[in-house]
Chains A and B, each alone.
Chain A
């Protein structure tokens, strides 16, 4: 298999499964024999704050963190967080995001507002965008917590790793009761097609 360096930034809000997604990605990298580092901050961020995980895969990785303009792919579980994460995206990189909106209480007291349509804001930037209503797909599959697995499925197309290797790790890392459901969610995400303009096909 051809080895390819890749930097991935995964963002979301506490409780959305950002860390599980980056864990699956990292285990996969080890299985295919690449060096990998991932970094995230725990603690205060779990109380409804922003959670971000930096994942770097290469022959040899030094720094565990990324800088602005270095992410080949951003995987976002929340629409406004996708907008917030944009400066990290490499020129020509891909942004994958769910349409999920998580409006924090700070916006109810009037000082700040949640953007009306973060996806539209992102589209103005003219980047390679893969946006999807992952909540709707998860609901259709029967469990709202499948959003992260669906998005991992979308992400899987950006890496040169066979589907079976992904599924092996997914099977190992999700609770036994939910293995079939997660495999289905992953395949759903992986088979989604996106037009160049960023409109879901």
Chain B
């Protein structure tokens, strides 16, 4: 039977069909729906949101040691967080089959960088599979688990956004049944003290040689004979772009691009006049093939910047002189306003940033919806690098004497638990004069609202322990802690002011939930009394999508404000910044029934 599945949904299906017992992850675009689908559709698999990717990886590692098939999923930068267990688990090897999924984001649709995680496979010397569509994605989970068990190695499944988030028809099968073998003591295999690690390192080197033989023999790496003038070696999504641009060339499609099938590549290279490598991002395959002493052309024609497309690949082949130029007529792009993502109407982050802007202190930022506080008109965040970075950066700025008036680290609840706690410990221990604002909206909002240890519910829908952030901060040694209502600007302002006066680390926790979670919060909307509005634009500066410039002008010719009652959630932030009291509750409006 064929069903329409995204790459992520197909991988979840693959996990089900291959009898995966344990699946773990921390949410991150474009990987999030893998675990969401498993939890929703395949409830016989134990699934969890772990507090971060390192823990997720380690939970899966333990499950493998206990002989269960397992899968751990993360976005590309998540593997940086999990890199510590990842690099050494490559030494210990597995018992139950183990797949680590790295979902990369070329073009940085929702990421801070576009690192090419294929290098992680080579770095750890473990096999990597790369699907070209959802069908491959589903099939490769099972094939990967089989390889993992046969070769005693973790296996990487590398995705990109266009695989994760593209849908196509997938032929599904019935699940197989796989026994969980159980935990058995094996100290030399799993205890990586130097003496054991040296022995395992030798095994890693030998294993790689055996994997090279597999790579040469597996159907995952297949030759598709076409015209002999042009041969193309490609993998993953790039295969689709190349086939679209140059359907009648000869292909070596690599479903297993690490380790490379050297014999097959030599044989293929001999059969064609010119050899091209089409790959997105870095010249990962190209450099290795050149190191084999085989002549080939790649990044000379195809960019390493951002996603490829069939037209970019076609352009490359035209420049290389193997395709004729085609002209496709189209209109030129219009000069239009941009439509960047914005904080939602009623978002509890809006008030905090409009207050922070007035203090004119450095604000180190973190990863989440609140990073949008860096955009106009709020423009209140000065940095964003990686999960949890805000606190360490703030400590560094304070220690360097960069801010007499105060330094703020702005971090969300999920991000704080992911990797902010250790930063806060550092602030207490090393007496840093900073203010950590924990924007506690009780969800992982940016990725669509996932549970975490602060929400009281697990991924599988069970009620659970709910962390108490105040107690947690106290236990980290913080004595100056303020809990404020993010919809009350005065209260937020006072708490921040007091925290700047306090010597040593302070924490300000805002406690309004996300305006969208678990359902859209909607109170009585606000409205503008047109006669009272003087066109000062202060309400425009909170950047709310529900506030518009009216066509009605003041005597001085400034547009008055207008509120869309459908979008307005009644958070009242705009009313609080209005100096003329022109924004009031709309008593006549209907409140939607909840």
Contact = CB atoms under 8 A, between A and B. Distances in A.
Interface of A: 13-14, 23, 26-27, 30, 35-50, 61-65, 67-70, 80-81, 83-84, 86-91, 103-109, 111-115, 121, 125
A49 B339 contact: yes
Contacts of B545: 48, 104-105
- Give the interface residue-count category, chain B: 35 or more
B102 interface: no
A50 B339 contact: yes
Interface string B374-405: 00110000000000000000000000000000
A43 B547 CA distance: 24
Contact of A103 (B331, B540, B548): B548
A160 B311 CA distance: 28
B110 A47 contact: no
A5 to B, nearest CB: 12
B247 to A, nearest CB: 8
A62 B248 CA distance: 13
- Most chain-A CB neighbours within 10 Å: which of B30, B329, B339? B339
Given A62-B310, A68-B330, A107 B165 contact: no
B320 to A, nearest CB: 19
A64 to B, nearest CB: 4
A130 to B, nearest CB: 17
B44 to A, nearest CB: 26
A84 B328 CA distance: 18
A63 B241 contact: yes
29 contacts: A26-B167, A37-B166, A37-B168, A38-B168, A43-B110, A46-B341, A47-B341, A47-B344, A63-B310, A64-B168, A65-B166, A67-B310, A67-B328, A68-B311, A83-B334, A87-B332, A87-B333, A103-B548, A104-B342, A104-B545, A105-B540, A105-B543, A107-B337, A107-B549, A108-B547, A109-B376, A114-B337, A121-B334, A125-B331
Interface string B534-546: 0001001101110
Contacts of B543: 105
A91 B329 CA distance: 6
- Most chain-B CB neighbours within 10 Å: which of A39, A40, A42? A42
B109 interface: yes
Contacts of A109: 376-377, 537, 540-541
A88 B540 CA distance: 33
B176 interface: no
Contacts of B118: none
A84 B311 contact: no
A80 B333 CA distance: 12
B16 to A, nearest CB: 20
Contacts of A125: 331
Contacts of B169: 30, 35-36
Contacts, number: 164
Contacts of B237: 64
Contacts of B446: 43-44
Contacts of B241: 62-63
Contact of A80 (B168, B328, B336, B341): B336
B369 interface: yes
Contacts of B540: 105, 108-109
B13 interface: no
Given A42-B30, A44-B110, A68-B311, 13 more contacts: A27-B4, A36-B168, A41-B109, A42-B448, A48-B545, A84-B333, A84-B336, A89-B331, A90-B330, A91-B329, A105-B377, A111-B376, A112-B337
Contacts of A106: 337-340, 342, 376
B502 interface: no
Interface string B339-381: 1111110000000000000000000000001001000110000
A88 B330 contact: yes
Given A47-B343, A69-B330, A87-B330, A63 B338 contact: no
Nearest to B559: A108
Contacts of B228: none
A106 B336 CA distance: 12
Contact of B331 (A49, A81, A86, A115): A86
Given A87-B333, A113-B337, A40 B165 contact: yes
B309 A65 contact: yes
A47 B446 CA distance: 9
A171 B583 CA distance: 43
B341 A69 contact: no
Nearest to B377: A109
B342 A61 contact: no
A62 B244 contact: yes
A47 B368 CA distance: 12
Contact of B339 (A36, A48, A63): A48
A122 to B, nearest CB: 10
A127 to B, nearest CB: 8
A83 B309 contact: no
A125 B333 CA distance: 12
Nearest to A86: B331
Contacts of B162: 39, 64-65
B557 to A, nearest CB: 13
B240 A63 contact: yes
Contacts of A48: 339, 341-342, 344, 545
B549 A38 contact: no
Contacts of B447: 43
A23 B150 CA distance: 39
A108 B205 CA distance: 61
A38 B524 CA distance: 39
